[in-house]
Amino acid sequence: MSLLTNTYDVHKGEFETAGDASASIKRKLKQLGVDSAVLRRVAVASYEAELNLIIHSLGGQLTMEMNPEHIVLISKDVGPGIADIDKAMQEGFSTASEEARVLGFGAGMGLPNMRRNADGFAIESQPGIGTTIQMEFRLK
Protein backbone atom coordinates (compact mmCIF):
# COMPACT_ATOMS: atom_id res chain seq x y z
CA MET A 1 0.00 0.00 0.00
CA SER A 2 1.26 3.45 -0.86
CA LEU A 3 2.63 5.35 2.06
CA LEU A 4 3.75 8.90 2.34
CA THR A 5 6.19 9.81 5.09
CA ASN A 6 7.43 13.24 6.09
CA THR A 7 9.72 13.89 9.00
CA TYR A 8 10.51 17.28 10.50
CA ASP A 9 13.23 18.08 13.02
CA VAL A 10 11.97 20.30 15.81
CA HIS A 11 14.50 22.01 18.05
CA LYS A 12 14.20 22.93 21.68
CA GLY A 13 13.30 26.55 22.37
CA GLU A 14 13.18 27.64 18.74
CA PHE A 15 10.06 29.75 18.92
CA GLU A 16 10.93 31.56 15.70
CA THR A 17 10.24 28.42 13.69
CA ALA A 18 7.22 27.41 15.78
CA GLY A 19 4.43 26.22 13.55
CA ASP A 20 6.55 25.60 10.45
CA ALA A 21 6.33 21.81 10.60
CA SER A 22 2.60 21.73 11.28
CA ALA A 23 1.99 24.37 8.61
CA SER A 24 3.86 22.22 6.10
CA ILE A 25 1.84 19.15 7.09
CA LYS A 26 -1.37 21.13 6.77
CA ARG A 27 -0.43 22.47 3.33
CA LYS A 28 0.36 18.97 2.08
CA LEU A 29 -2.87 17.48 3.39
CA LYS A 30 -4.81 20.22 1.62
CA GLN A 31 -3.01 19.48 -1.63
CA LEU A 32 -3.78 15.81 -1.14
CA GLY A 33 -7.45 16.61 -0.80
CA VAL A 34 -7.89 15.23 2.72
CA ASP A 35 -11.42 15.75 4.10
CA SER A 36 -11.74 19.18 5.78
CA ALA A 37 -12.98 17.90 9.13
CA VAL A 38 -10.07 15.46 9.45
CA LEU A 39 -7.65 18.10 8.24
CA ARG A 40 -8.74 20.48 10.95
CA ARG A 41 -8.14 17.86 13.64
CA VAL A 42 -4.71 16.98 12.26
CA ALA A 43 -3.86 20.70 12.09
CA VAL A 44 -4.70 21.25 15.74
CA ALA A 45 -2.95 18.09 16.96
CA SER A 46 0.20 18.59 14.88
CA TYR A 47 0.52 22.20 16.01
CA GLU A 48 0.17 21.18 19.66
CA ALA A 49 2.70 18.40 19.19
CA GLU A 50 5.17 20.71 17.51
CA LEU A 51 4.81 23.34 20.22
CA ASN A 52 5.25 20.69 22.91
CA LEU A 53 8.52 19.63 21.35
CA ILE A 54 9.73 23.25 21.34
CA ILE A 55 8.54 24.11 24.84
CA HIS A 56 9.05 20.92 26.83
CA SER A 57 11.47 18.60 25.05
CA LEU A 58 15.18 18.66 24.48
CA GLY A 59 14.39 18.41 20.77
CA GLY A 60 12.86 15.77 18.59
CA GLN A 61 11.05 14.93 15.44
CA LEU A 62 7.53 15.19 14.17
CA THR A 63 6.57 12.60 11.58
CA MET A 64 3.48 12.37 9.43
CA GLU A 65 2.74 9.04 7.82
CA MET A 66 -0.17 8.67 5.53
CA ASN A 67 -1.87 5.99 3.49
CA PRO A 68 -5.31 6.12 1.91
CA GLU A 69 -6.87 4.73 5.12
CA HIS A 70 -5.34 6.91 7.79
CA ILE A 71 -2.87 9.55 8.88
CA VAL A 72 -0.48 8.87 11.72
CA LEU A 73 1.35 11.63 13.55
CA ILE A 74 4.34 10.64 15.64
CA SER A 75 6.11 12.99 18.00
CA LYS A 76 9.34 11.58 19.30
CA ASP A 77 11.80 13.44 21.50
CA VAL A 78 15.11 12.77 23.22
CA GLY A 79 14.06 13.82 26.70
CA PRO A 80 13.58 14.80 29.42
CA GLY A 81 10.59 12.45 29.65
CA ILE A 82 7.41 12.78 31.66
CA ALA A 83 7.45 11.59 35.27
CA ASP A 84 3.69 11.28 35.74
CA ILE A 85 1.81 10.77 32.48
CA ASP A 86 -1.65 10.72 34.12
CA LYS A 87 -1.00 14.12 35.61
CA ALA A 88 0.37 15.47 32.32
CA MET A 89 -2.80 14.36 30.55
CA GLN A 90 -4.97 16.46 32.88
CA GLU A 91 -6.40 19.67 31.46
CA GLY A 92 -4.71 22.71 32.92
CA PHE A 93 -1.63 20.93 34.18
CA SER A 94 1.55 22.42 32.76
CA THR A 95 5.25 22.52 33.45
CA ALA A 96 5.89 25.22 30.83
CA SER A 97 8.70 27.66 31.54
CA GLU A 98 8.14 31.32 32.29
CA GLU A 99 9.51 32.13 28.83
CA ALA A 100 6.84 29.98 27.19
CA ARG A 101 4.05 31.37 29.38
CA VAL A 102 4.98 34.92 28.46
CA LEU A 103 4.41 33.92 24.84
CA GLY A 104 0.94 32.67 25.71
CA PHE A 105 1.74 28.97 25.84
CA GLY A 106 1.58 26.58 28.74
CA ALA A 107 -2.16 26.53 29.39
CA GLY A 108 -1.94 22.83 30.03
CA MET A 109 -4.17 21.95 27.11
CA GLY A 110 -1.59 20.52 24.73
CA LEU A 111 -1.81 16.80 25.46
CA PRO A 112 -5.56 16.73 26.21
CA ASN A 113 -6.15 18.63 22.97
CA MET A 114 -4.10 16.11 21.01
CA ARG A 115 -6.01 13.21 22.51
CA ARG A 116 -9.36 14.90 21.87
CA ASN A 117 -8.61 15.52 18.22
CA ALA A 118 -7.16 12.13 17.34
CA ASP A 119 -9.08 8.90 16.68
CA GLY A 120 -6.31 6.94 18.38
CA PHE A 121 -3.81 8.20 20.93
CA ALA A 122 -0.87 6.52 22.64
CA ILE A 123 1.85 8.01 24.79
CA GLU A 124 4.95 6.42 26.17
CA SER A 125 7.58 8.12 28.23
CA GLN A 126 10.64 7.34 30.26
CA PRO A 127 12.30 10.00 32.39
CA GLY A 128 15.79 10.66 31.13
CA ILE A 129 15.13 8.97 27.80
CA GLY A 130 12.23 10.64 26.07
CA THR A 131 8.60 10.66 25.06
CA THR A 132 6.86 9.19 22.05
CA ILE A 133 3.30 10.14 21.16
CA GLN A 134 1.41 8.42 18.41
CA MET A 135 -1.86 9.76 17.04
CA GLU A 136 -4.06 8.19 14.44
CA PHE A 137 -6.65 9.89 12.26
CA ARG A 138 -8.94 7.72 10.17
CA LEU A 139 -9.65 8.94 6.65
CA LYS A 140 -12.60 6.65 5.95
Is residue 37 involved in binding another protein (CB under 8 A)?
yes
Among 61, 95, 97, 113, binds another protein (CB under 8 A): 113
Euclidean distance between CA atoms 36 and 94, whole angstroms: 30
Q: How many helices (H) and strands (E) does the chain have?
A: 5, 5
Residue ranges in 51-110 that form contacts with another protein under rule CB under 8 A: 66-68
Among 12, 13, 40, 108, binds another protein (CB under 8 A): 40
Task: Compute the CA torsion angle 92, 112, 44, 77 (nearest 10 deg).
Answer: 100
Q: Contacts with another protein: how many residues (CB under 8 A)?
A: 25
Rounded (5°) CA angle 110-76-139: 70
Among 7, 11, 17, 36, binds another protein (CB under 8 A): 36
Which range binds another protein by CB under 8 A, 34-42, 71-79, 92-100, 118-126?
34-42
Euclidean distance between CA atoms 53 and 44, whole angstroms: 14
CB-nearer residue toward another protein: 14 or 20:
20
Euclidean distance between CA atoms 97 and 126, whole angstroms: 20
Euclidean distance between CA atoms 64 and 72, whole angstroms: 6
Residue ranges in 1-30 that form contacts with another protein under rule CB under 8 A: 2, 4, 6, 19, 22-23, 26, 28, 30
Chain residues in the site for another protein (CB under 8 A): 2, 4, 6, 19, 22-23, 26, 28, 30-34, 36-37, 39-40, 43-44, 47, 66-68, 113, 139
